[in-house]
Amino acid sequence: KQEVTQIPAALSVPEGENLVLNCSFTDSAIYNLQWFRQDPGKGLTSLLLIQSSQREQTSGRLNASLDKSSGRSTLYIAASQPGDSATYLCAVRFVRGQTGANNLFFGTGTRLTVIP
């Protein structure tokens, strides 16, 4: 069964700290992995997309890594700010998706709070 798991479910850090969010997936045969941000009552904003052939992607203070063989990805946020407070979702497109390869499998997210 293909699953995506995110740990921790919630995280609180003081402003300025660097932090790491974790995502694990059960099948290493993937097309890509995507990190999203979801603000309360809002839609999803795509942060980073890592193709299966890539090891990492960077955008500003964000860096996402991918280790397909171990089924893991991390999202690193440097110098966290109160505006980073949101839920971060990891989503995987599996090659042999149970519901086809057309859709994303989402984790349940990590709710991040950055304390000023």
Residues interacting with other proteins, by CB under 8 A? 4, 31-32, 34, 36, 41-46, 49, 51, 89, 91, 93, 95, 98-109
CB of 17 to other proteins, least distance (A): 26
With b for 16 or more beta-carbon neighbours within 10 A and e for fewer, the 10-36 pattern comes to ebebeeeeebebebbbebeebebbbbb
CB of 89 to other proteins, least distance (A): 7
Nearer to other proteins, 20 or 95 (CB): 95
Number of helices and strands in the chain (H, E)? 0, 11
